[in-house]
Amino acid sequence: MNFRQFEALYWIARLGSFHAAARHLETSQPAVSARIRELEQALGVALFDRSTRKARLTPKGHELTHYAAQVMALASEIRQRIGTREALNGHVRLGVPGIAAMTWLPALLDRAAHTYPDLTVEFTVDSSEILHQMLSQGGLEVAVMARPHAAHTVTTESLGKVQMVWLCSPSLVLPSHPVSATELALWPIITDRAGSHLHGAAMEWFRTEGVEPARHHGCSNLPTRIHLALIGMGLALASPLAAGRELAEGRLRQVPTTRPPPELEYVIAYADIGLSPAGRLIAEMAKSLIMQRPDFQSYYQPEAHLLAG
């Protein structure tokens, strides 16, 4: 038995197929299959049910996967504790939301390049939903995103929360007193696209009072969402800091509500087992840079108006 055999078993179990594991390990599917056959021969048991086309683990395969995960974790710890800085090389795939590309991401890339010249950071800028999917499928090692639903293969650390408010044009004649979700549901609502964290949080906020908006528009771009509210297309859910200039000039108003509007919690996330020392290092660098501001909310200041939602 050897590390590569356990590594292959771990990634097949996590990603769901020999093909996906081979792609992640940057090798061929026959090579991954050979590792599993060697492991089965060494143990004298079948690890996969070969009566189906899918990579379905046998009971012994399930049991061994837990040991494979421990082997991966131990190898990562050895590299991190014993290895030198010069040993940190290769690629780290990092996923970030649009706000990062306009704020702390350039500083992170610059710091990593100067400190670890043999380490390459490849980034993907996308929605939290896409980043979570990529992380779960092994396409990313580290991601900053809105908190996803609980996943047993992903560890998350909170970076802070972004408070949201309902914004509208003064041309919309809404009551000046705090309104309920039931009253607000009568107006056109603008959040993110269906399936996004923001859209889901908004729907849950309305459903708490047993209602749903009569018209719920989706817009993934934050500046566009604010602009749509500005021209009277509906009530937009957004950070008040992102619309600070429009609010200060009276071109937008904040709609008071009887319950606090939904909020978004941002996290840094990575695979709970098997994260490389380089990946752990980039995660720590990212946290350090992000925490230089008093809270995550401050990244929504007006100067970041060109960022994506």
- Which residue, among 287, 282, 10, has the nearest Cα to 140 in the 3D structure? 282
Q: Give, in words, the CATH class of 165-261.
A: alpha beta
Read off the pLDDT of each residue in 289-296 and give the average, rounded to a whole number: 80
- Residue span(s) of the chain under CATH 3.40.190.10 come to 85-160+265-304, 165-261
- Which residue, among 86, 70, 87, 99, has the nearest Cα to 290 in the 3D structure? 99
Six token digits for residue 87: 């040993």
Instruction: Give pLDDT, residue 71.
Output: 83
Those residues with Cβ within 8 angstroms of residue 93's Cβ, 6 or more apart along the chain or in another chain:
122, 123, 124, 139, 140, 141, 142
279 compared with 172, residue with greater pLDDT: 172
Q: Give, in words, the CATH class of 3-82.
A: mainly alpha
Q: Is the pLDDT of residue 88 over 70?
A: no
Six token digits for residue 49: 């049910």
- HEC string of 58-93 equals CHHHHHHHHHHHHHHHHHHHHHHHHCCHHHCCEEEE
Instruction: Give pLDDT, residue 153.
Output: 67
Q: Is the pLDDT of residue 74 over 70?
A: yes
Run of H or E residues at 242: none
> How high does pLDDT run on average in the chain?
86
DSSP state of 227: H
- Residue span(s) of the chain under CATH 1.10.10.10 come to 3-82
Q: Is the pLDDT of residue 263 over 60?
A: yes
How far is residue 305's CA from residue 262's CA, in Å, rounded to a whole number? 21
The DSSP annotation for 206-223 comes to: HHTTT---SSEEE---HH
Instruction: Give pLDDT, residue 84.
Output: 53
Q: Is the pLDDT of residue 115 over 60?
A: yes
Confidence band, pLDDT 50/70/90 cuts, at residue 55:
confident
Read off the pLDDT of each residue in 23-42 and give the average, rounded to a whole number: 90
Q: What are phi and psi of 302, to 5 degrees?
A: -55, -30
The DSSP annotation for 32-68 comes to: HHHHHHHHHHHHTS--EETTSSS-EEPHHHHHHHHHH
Read off the pLDDT of each residue in 135-147 and give the average, rounded to a whole number: 88
Question: How, if at all, do strands 253-255 and 165-168 pair?
Answer: antiparallel
Over its C-alpha atoms, the chain yields an Rg (Å, rounded) of: 23
How far is residue 124's CA from residue 144's CA, in Å, rounded to a whole number? 11
Question: How, if at all, do strands 142-146 and 263-271 pair?
Answer: antiparallel
How far is residue 145's CA from residue 148's CA, in Å, rounded to a whole number? 8
54 compared with 250, residue with greater pLDDT: 250
Positive or negative, the CA dihedral 290, 241, 128, 223 is negative
Contact present, 71 and 77 (Cβ < 8 Å)? no
**What is the residue whose two structure tokens read 């919309």?**
172
Contact present, 121 and 227 (Cβ < 8 Å)? no
Question: How, if at all, do strands 56-57 and 90-96 pair?
Answer: unpaired
CATH number among 3.40.50.300, 3.40.190.10, 3.40.50.720, 3.90.1150.10, domain 85-160+265-304: 3.40.190.10
Confidence band, pLDDT 50/70/90 cuts, at residue 85:
low
Q: Is the pLDDT of residue 308 over 80?
A: no
How far is residue 251's CA from residue 21's CA, in Å, rounded to a whole number? 53
pLDDT tens, 209-260?
999 999 999 999 889 999 999 999 999 999 998 898 999 999 999 999 999 9
Read off the pLDDT of each residue in 71-86 and give the average, rounded to a whole number: 65
Instruction: Give pLDDT, residue 82.
Output: 61
